[in-house]
C-alpha cells in the first residue's frame, strides 16, 4: 500500500485496525485508513470474483461430469483427436508467423528512419497506427471484402487470379495482410517503447563510424538492442491472431477461433476446455515475456497511451 502518507505507513500495514494501541492522533488516522482499506478490499474482492468466476466455472465445467458425478481430464485429452483442431492450429500459427514477419519488415526500418532522420513524420505514422482503433474489424472486413469482390468481375484476368490466391482456403494470404493492419497499434507501441529505451543515434553513429553498412547496423546492432520490444510485439501479434474471429469468420476461413465456435455447436466441454487453455497460455507467455524486457510490458499496458 505504497502511496499512503509515509508516517502512517506502519499503521496501515498492520492487518487489523491498530488505532487502539497508538497515540490519539495516529488513532483517528488509522481509523480513517482502515475504513479506506475495508472499502478497497471489498471492491477488489467483488472484481476478483467477477473476473475469476467465469474462469473457475469453465475449469469446473470441463473437469467435472455432472451426470456421472465424476472428475476427469478427458476433454483436455480429446483436444488433439478433435477433427480440425491440429489443422486450424497449424494454419493459425503460420498466419501469425507471416503477420509478425510482415509487421517487422514494414515497421522496423520505417521507425528507425523516422527516429533518426525524419522526426517530422512521427506524428503521421502514429496517427496511421491509431486508425485501426477507429476502423473496427467489422468495417475493415466490409471494405476488404468489397475490394476482393471487385477482382472477381472478370474471370481469367490477373486480378482474378490474384484474388483467388489471396483467398486460398488452406492458407488465405489475405488474412496476414489484413492482420498486419490490425496489429499496427500494438506493434507501433511496442517498438516505440523499445526505441525510446535505447540511444539510437549513438548506437548507429558508432556502428557506422566503425564501417558497418546499413543492413549490418540493423541486423547486428539494432535488432539485438530492440529484442525485448520486438519479442513483446511478436507475442502480442501471436495472441491477437489466435484470438481473431471477426475477419476470418466473415471472409469464410477457419483458423483457430472460428474452429472453436464451429466445433462448439456440438459437444459441450471441448470448446470450453480449448478456450480456457488458450486464454491461460497467452497470459502465461505474455507474463514471462514481460519479465524478459525488464520493464513493464510496455506494449500491453499502453495499448492506447
Smallest gap from residue 159 Cβ to another protein (A)? 13
Buried b or exposed e, range 100-128, using 16+ CB within 10 angstroms: bebbbeebbeebbebbeeeeeeeeebeee
CA angle in degrees (0–180, nearest 5) for 212-214-219: 85
Q: Which residue has the cell 532522420?
A: 117
* DSSP characters over 33-94: HHHHHHHHHHHHHHHHHHHHHHHHHHHHHHHEETTTTEE--HHHHHGGGSTTHHHHHHHHHH
Smallest gap from residue 6 Cβ to another protein (A)? 7
| Total number of residues that touch another protein (CB under 8 A) | 104
Does 60 interact with another protein (rule: CB under 8 A)? yes
Which of the residues 118 through 177 are near another protein (CB under 8 A)? 118, 121, 125, 128, 130-147, 150, 177
Which of 40, 90, 220, 227 contacts another protein by CB under 8 A? 40
Does 23 interact with another protein (rule: CB under 8 A)? no
Smallest gap from residue 192 Cβ to another protein (A)? 13
Does 42 interact with another protein (rule: CB under 8 A)? no
| H-helix segments, 135-245 | 137-151, 158-166, 174-182, 184-197, 200-209, 214-216, 223-225, 227-243
**Distance between CA atoms of residues 108 and 96, nearest Å:** 18
Whichever of 7 and 16 has its CB closer to another protein, that residue is: 7
Which of the residues 257 through 296 are near another protein (CB under 8 A)? 257, 260-261, 264, 268, 271-272, 274-276, 278-279, 282-283, 286-287, 290-291, 296
Which of the residues 166 through 225 are near another protein (CB under 8 A)? 177-178, 180-181, 184, 186, 205, 208-209, 211, 213-215
Rounded (10°) CA dihedral 65, 68, 71, 73: -60
Residue 108 near residue 218, CB atoms below 8 Å: yes
Smallest gap from residue 169 Cβ to another protein (A)? 17
3-state secondary structure of 27: helix
Region of 73-81, 92-100, 117-125, 163-171 interacting with another protein (CB under 8 A): 117-125
Smallest gap from residue 4 Cβ to another protein (A)? 8
Whichever of 87 and 282 has its CB closer to another protein, that residue is: 282
Whichever of 21 and 105 has its CB closer to another protein, that residue is: 105
Whichever of 155 and 202 has its CB closer to another protein, that residue is: 202
Please, which residues bridge with residue 65 across strands? 70
Does 45 interact with another protein (rule: CB under 8 A)? no
Whichever of 44 and 73 has its CB closer to another protein, that residue is: 44
Strand-pair category, 70-71 with 64-65: antiparallel
Whichever of 59 and 198 has its CB closer to another protein, that residue is: 59
Which of 26, 63, 110, 159 contacts another protein by CB under 8 A? 110
Does 93 interact with another protein (rule: CB under 8 A)? no
Q: Which residue has the cell 497499434?
A: 185
**Distance between CA atoms of residues 11 and 161, nearest Å:** 73
Which of 106, 152, 162, 223 contacts another protein by CB under 8 A? 106
Q: What is the DSSP letter of 199?
A: -
Smallest gap from residue 84 Cβ to another protein (A)? 15
Does 69 interact with another protein (rule: CB under 8 A)? no
Amino acid at each position: 500500500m505504497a502511496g499512503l502518507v509515509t508516517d502512517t505507513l506502519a499503521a496501515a500495514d498492520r492487518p487489523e485496525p491498530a488505532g487502539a494501541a497508538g497515540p490519539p492522533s495516529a488513532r483517528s488516522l488509522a481509523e480513517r485508513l482502515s475504513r479506506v482499506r475495508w472499502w478497497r478490499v471489498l471492491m477488489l474482492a467483488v472484481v476478483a470474483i467477477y473476473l475469476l468466476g467465469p474462469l473457475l466455472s469453465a475449469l469446473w465445467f470441463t473437469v467435472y461430469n455432472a451426470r456421472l458425478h465424476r472428475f476427469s481430464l478427458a476433454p483436455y485429452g480429446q483436444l488433439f483427436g478433435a477433427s480440425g483442431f491440429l489443422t486450424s492450429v497449424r494454419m493459425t500459427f503460420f498466419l501469425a508467423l507471416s503477420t509478425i514477419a510482415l509487421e517487422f519488415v514494414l515497421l522496423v526500418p520505417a521507425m528507425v528512419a523516422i527516429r533518426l532522420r525524419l522526426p517530422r513524420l512521427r506524428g503521421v505514422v502514429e496517427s496511421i497506427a491509431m486508425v485501426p482503433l477507429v476502423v473496427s474489424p467489422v468495417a475493415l472486413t466490409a471494405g476488404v471484402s468489397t475490394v476482393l469482390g471487385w477482382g472477381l468481375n472478370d474471370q481469367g484476368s490477373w486480378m482474378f487470379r490474384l484474388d483467388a490466391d489471396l483467398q486460398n482456403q488452406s492458407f488465405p494470404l489475405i488474412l496476414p495482410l489484413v492482420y498486419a493492419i490490425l496489429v499496427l497499434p500494438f506493434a507501433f507501441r511496442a517498438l516505440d517503447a523499445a526505441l525510446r529505451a535505447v540511444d539510437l543515434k549513438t548506437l548507429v553513429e558508432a556502428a557506422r563510424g566503425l564501417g558497418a553498412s546499413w543492413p549490418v547496423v540493423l541486423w547486428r546492432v539494432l535488432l539485438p538492442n530492440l529484442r525485448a520490444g520486438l519479442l513483446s510485439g511478436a507475442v502480442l501479434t501471436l495472441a491477437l491472431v489466435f484470438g481473431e474471429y471477426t475477419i476470418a469468420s466473415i471472409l469464410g476461413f477457419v483458423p483457430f477461433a472460428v474452429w472453436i465456435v464451429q466445433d462448439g455447436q456440438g459437444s459441450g466441454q471441448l470448446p470450453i476446455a480449448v478456450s480456457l487453455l488458450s486464454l491461460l497460455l497467452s497470459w502465461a507467455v505474455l507474463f514471462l515475456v514481460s519479465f524478459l524486457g525488464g520493464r513493464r510490458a510496455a506494449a500491453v499496458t499502453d495499448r492506447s497511451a
